[in-house]
């Protein structure tokens, strides 16, 4: 199993990352609101959803939203705040590579700002296609390796490696999302063609591509306030999303699964299964036991811990 970016080992409060990034936050939510606001469905999964930064964009469209994250501490720390704003949200600690859900359970899902921590995107995309239903909407965001600044820098250095489809591991620069220079840090930027192929191989079709955060630059941030930046961002999202110049790309995808049964799972315990062997679970208030492999899972301070590697 690939390595995991375990935020719990870093004791990092990810919400602090957003304190001075209102422009990027609004730019991302603008896209997600456009995608999810007209949608309707039952179960929805925010994979690597952390403290629920993006929950407002899908909460009113899906009846049963779940935030899944590998960081149990983040979910425990933010549980009360998330639940007070979004009472229907369930929080589950689990690994995106091995999710504790039955096949074809979800009508919608998203992964934003997490793929750079995913070393084996092919394995992950296969797993997410397993749990999503036929015709479900899935949004995959990724850090774009060939964005305009990176492309110009490479051409000036006469280094054309950037245009290969290989993922690009960002060099360690000081503290990055809580990791320090000495720690192993999975921080991958992906080539748009690579991600498109991986999604299409698992029967996702790309409904629409959106460029995002076109103006991400400390220099522009010093010159313009957030409202003016958003004014230009929206124009650029509308006019330049066909290109690969933005540092972040959102893909709105639809999954086609001809063989999927459309089962309406009513409760959380109905969608859950063992993340290790996919066996059925015996679930009570605080503990779940796999009927096949006997593995035990516990609720810890109100959050189910289904993390396996
Ligand atoms: C940069 S944060 C993004 C949070 C949120 N999606 C957002 O955009 O605000 C990355 C999150 O991915 C989670 N994560 C990293 N690897 C994971 C994995 N294998 N399974 C589940 N979550 C993971 C981390 O714990 C962290 O909360
Ligand atoms: Zn099991």
CA-CA distance, 226 to 98, in Å (whole number)? 39
Ion ligand 2: protein residues whose beta carbon lies under 5 Å: 274, 276-277, 279, 290, 292-293, 295
The neighbouring-strand residues paired with 254 are: 137, 205
Q: Is the pLDDT of residue 259 over 80?
A: no
Atom of ligand 1 nearest to the CA of 111: 6
pTM beyond 0.75: the answer is yes
| pLDDT higher than threshold 70 for residue 296 | yes
- For all residues of the chain together, what is the average pLDDT? 93
Closest CA to 213 of 188, 194, 232, 196: 232
DSSP single-letter state for residue 209? E
> Cα angle at 250 between 245 and 256, to 5 degrees?
130
Instruction: Answer yes or no: are the C-beta atoms of 105 and 81 closer than 8 Å.
Output: no
Helices 121-131, 192-201: inter-axial angle, 10-degree rounding? 40
- Ligand 1 — pocket residues by CB below 6 A? 4-5, 7, 14, 48-50, 53-54, 69-71, 74, 95-97, 112-114, 117, 177
Q: Is the dihedral of CA 94, 96, 101, 105 positive or negative?
A: positive
Q: Given CATH 3.40.50.11540, say whether it is the number of domain 7-266.
A: no
Q: Where are the domains of the chain?
A: 7-266
pLDDT in tens, 50-93: 999 999 999 999 999 999 999 999 999 999 999 999 999 999 99
| Beta carbons of 174 and 181 less than 8 angstroms apart | yes
How many angstroms is it from 292 CA to the middle of ligand 2? 5
pLDDT at 176 over 60: no
238/134 Cα distance (integer angstroms):
29
**Pairing state between β 106-111 and 132-143:** parallel
């Amino acid at each position: 199993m690939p390595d995991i970016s375990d935020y719990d080992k870093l004791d990092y409060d990810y919400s602090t990352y957003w304190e001075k990034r209102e422009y990027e936050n609004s730019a991302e939510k603008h896209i997600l609101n456009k995608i999810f606001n007209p949608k309707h469905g039952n179960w929805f999964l925010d994979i690597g959803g952390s403290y629920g930064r993006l929950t407002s964009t899908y909460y009113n469209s899906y009846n049963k939203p779940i935030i899944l994250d590998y960081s149990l501490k983040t979910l425990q720390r933010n549980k009360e705040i998330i639940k007070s704003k979004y009472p229907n949200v369930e929080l589950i600690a689990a690994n995106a590579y091995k999710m504790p859900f039955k096949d074809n359970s979800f009508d919608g899902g998203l992964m934003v700002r997490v793929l750079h921590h995913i070393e084996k995107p092919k394995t992950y995309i296969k797993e997410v296609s397993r749990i999503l239903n036929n015709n479900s909407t899935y949004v995959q965001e990724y850090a774009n390796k060939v964005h305009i600044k990176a492309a110009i820098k490479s051409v000036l250095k006469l280094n054309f490696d950037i245009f290969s489809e290989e993922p690009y591991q960002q060099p360690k620069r000081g503290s990055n999302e809580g990791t320090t220079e000495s720690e192993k840090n999975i921080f991958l930027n992906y080539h748009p063609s690579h991600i498109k192929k991986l999604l299409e191989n698992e029967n996702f079709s790309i409904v629409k591509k959106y460029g995002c955060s076109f103006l991400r630059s400390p220099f522009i941030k010093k010159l313009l306030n957030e409202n003016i930046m958003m004014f230009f961002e929206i124009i650029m999202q509308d006019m330049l999303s066909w290109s690969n110049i933005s540092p972040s790309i959102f893909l709105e995808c639809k999954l086609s699964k001809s063989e999927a049964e459309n089962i309406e799972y009513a409760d959380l315990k109905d969608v859950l299964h063992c993340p290790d062997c996919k066996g059925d679970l015996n679930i009570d208030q605080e503990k779940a036991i796999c009927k096949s492999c006997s593995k035990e899972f516990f609720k810890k301070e109100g959050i189910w811990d289904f993390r396996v590697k």
